[in-house]
Amino acid sequence: MHTATLEVSADSTDDKKLIEELLRSRTYRDYEDTFTDVTGLPLVFRPVEFFGLPFQGTRKESELFASLSGNKQWCALYLRRRNDHSDHTADQPRSIQCPFGLTETMVPVRLGNRVIGFLLTGQVFTRQPELAKFKKSCHELFPIRSRAEKRAFKLWKKTQFVPTAKYEAIVQLLNFFAQQLSAVSSQIAMQRQRAEPSVVLKAREFIAQNRTEMISLGAVAKAAGASVFHFCKIFRKATGLTFTDYVARLRLEDARTRLANPNLRVSQIAYDVGFQSLTQFNRVFKRVIGESPTKYRTHLLLSPA
């Protein structure tokens, strides 16, 4: 398989659509049901740019995590730790521990040489629970001897324990499935590309390579080998978006990823992803996302979804 061909549609919008198609497939649905029934663990498949609580509302979600989903301080702490340990180029599964000591594992699913999403499982103890660690984390979230603390402790004691060796074997099985999904995603991507006009494929590739620069409609049409009129007609029919909207949404996906890093200024992000002014960035972001970049960042860090 020619990997370079799979890079033509290398934007997160296409990746999310691909994941949605995989989630609807019989291959994924059958495996998810079997995995959950046999292991008793939750399983979800999320795109790279997913910023909420990944297991929220899913089958076999940890009761402890579910009870904490309304606590803003917990959500901010959890999301920050998850973001700090995410590696979108990782070739192997990666595990992290929540402040209460529960293990969560991310298994990458790839399209060509890119990670497009993660299979996630866990929310269990893989080592003997440490009461002192629980109390320390709990006291940072709840008043001592409060009803919330007592409920958290009750659910903490009920949390499933899976010995390390057994958990590693489960993750290895999940890794095999991730490789199978990667193969299926490549087949779907190839089928899509064969169905898409070459003009659109060339345009996507040119835009992806120059997304942070000033891109003119004329330059893209030239790179695609078409007149401006012909290009606009074909591109909108294939993508459902005008050239301007497509480029803006591509840049906004980059911006949303960067907004998860609280050390980056909004103005810096705006210019880094290709907008020519902060005013333009704020206006487009609010029109497409529904709120300002600043509010989006606040909600990203403080809310469960």
The pLDDT assigned to 87 comes to: 58
Q: What is the mean pLDDT of the chain?
A: 85
The pLDDT assigned to 6 comes to: 36
- Give CA separation, 195 vs 21, 56, 188, 203, in Å: 16, 36, 11, 15
The pLDDT assigned to 169 comes to: 94
The answer to whether the CB of 53 falls within 8 A of the CB of 75 is yes
| Host H or E run for residue 8 | none
| Structural tokens at position 201 | 């494929």
The pLDDT assigned to 267 comes to: 93
pLDDT > 90? residue 261: no
* Helices and strands counted in the chain (H then E): 14, 4
Q: Which residue has the tokens 């810096």?
A: 268
pLDDT > 50? residue 42: yes
What value, to the nearest 5°, has the Cα angle with vertex 52 and ends 49 and 56? 130
| Structural tokens at position 263 | 């050390």
Local structure of 54: helix, strand or coil: coil
Sign of CA dihedral 120, 122, 123, 128: negative
The angle, 0 to 180 degrees and rounded to 10, between the axes of the packed helices 243-259 and 198-209 is 40
Q: What is the pLDDT of residues 74-124, one digit of tens each?
A: 877 777 777 666 655 567 899 988 888 899 999 999 887 788 899 999 999
The pLDDT assigned to 240 comes to: 82
d(CA 297, CA 66): 23
**What are the structural domains of the chain?**
3-192 (3.30.450), 198-302 (1.10.10.60)
Give me the percent of the chain exceeding a pLDDT of 90.
Answer: 36
Task: Give the residue-averaged pLDDT of 140-161.
Answer: 89
The pLDDT assigned to 84 comes to: 66
Of 76-80, 127-131, 212-216, 256-260, the one with minimum mean pLDDT is 76-80
The pLDDT assigned to 305 comes to: 39
pLDDT > 50? residue 67: yes
The pLDDT assigned to 224 comes to: 92
Q: What is the pLDDT of residues 177-207, one digit of tens each?
A: 999 998 888 888 777 767 778 898 899 889 9
The pLDDT assigned to 10 comes to: 47
Task: Give the residue-averaged pLDDT of 31-49.
Answer: 91
Task: Give the residue-averaged pLDDT of 288-301.
Answer: 82
The pLDDT assigned to 12 comes to: 63
Task: Give the residue-averaged pLDDT of 61-83.
Answer: 81
Task: Give the residue-averaged pLDDT of 18-45.
Answer: 91
d(CA 113, CA 99): 33
pLDDT > 50? residue 2: no
Of the candidates 236, 238, 268, the residue with the CA atom closest to the CA atom of residue 254: 268
| Structural tokens at position 32 | 């998810």
pLDDT > 80? residue 241: yes
The pLDDT assigned to 220 comes to: 93
